[in-house]
Chain A
């Protein structure tokens, strides 16, 4: 299945693009997606934290992704 991942802040700069398109096996979990991204972009591993948002909510590592999900990487937030 094809996933589109929105990127913000420092993750956008690390990847060098505001979004990333990936083809992954059906049923891939959040944890597996993160492992794959860490391998492709080792600088992600230096961040204080890296969460995944699915449809505007923080996702658990075991959450299975669907092709139509709105997915985003969430580096450490610093609003306020």
Chain B
């Protein structure tokens, strides 16, 4: 299991390598990247902040919950970036390996969806004329 929070660029090939398993017939990955528009505004860059210790703990819990739900999971890797990211940068990479493809899609989606709900990481979007903490206000 690879669980990491990093301020360095994410090496997607290394994340895929981390889920290599002889019992796997499927590897499924989700790569989250920085988009240039948000709610109609042009985004210049993004700033990610994390509560490091809790974020790593919660990332590990999400991975463990996925293994409980899909016991056939061979390997799980979750790497999340923090710091300042530019358009096109990889913010998060999730990869799983399973014997067959159906469970790989389901487990990968479960991990990224749950991560977005529970892991204490925050992003601030920077526009040409200001900044906003994403999702902070109703």
**A interface residues, Cβ below 8 angstroms from B:** 6, 8-10, 13, 46-48, 53, 56-58, 70, 72, 74-80
Chain A residue contacts of B121, Cβ below 8 A: 77-80
Whether B54 contacts A53 by the Cβ 8 Å rule is yes
Please count how many residues in chain B sit with their CB below 8 Å of the partner chain's CB atoms: 30
Chain A residue contacts of B105, Cβ below 8 A: none
**B interface residues, Cβ below 8 angstroms from A:** 32, 48-51, 53-55, 57-58, 80, 91-92, 112, 115-124, 133-138
Given contacts A6-B51, A48-B136, contact A80 B115 (CB under 8 A): yes
Q: A13-B133, A56-B57, A80-B80 are in contact. List 19 more A-B contacts (CB 8 A).
A: A8-B49, A9-B124, A9-B133, A10-B122, A48-B135, A57-B57, A58-B118, A70-B53, A75-B122, A75-B136, A76-B136, A77-B120, A79-B50, A79-B91, A79-B92, A79-B116, A79-B121, A80-B32, A80-B112
Q: In the docked arrangement, what's the CA distance between A72 and B55, Å?
A: 12
Whether B122 contacts A78 by the Cβ 8 Å rule is yes
Given contacts A56-B58, A79-B80, contact A10 B119 (CB under 8 A): no
Q: In the docked arrangement, what's the CA distance between A22 and B131, Å?
A: 30
CB distance from B67 to the nearest CB of A (A): 19
Provide a sorted-by-A list of 5 A–B residue pairs whose CB atoms are within 8 angstroms: A10-B122, A48-B136, A72-B54, A78-B136, A80-B92
Chain B residue contacts of A77, Cβ below 8 A: 116-122, 135
Q: In the docked arrangement, what's the CA distance between A76 and B118, Å?
A: 9
Q: In the docked arrangement, what's the CA distance between A56 and B58, Å?
A: 8
CB distance from B68 to the nearest CB of A (A): 17
Q: In the docked arrangement, what's the CA distance between A72 and B133, Å?
A: 18
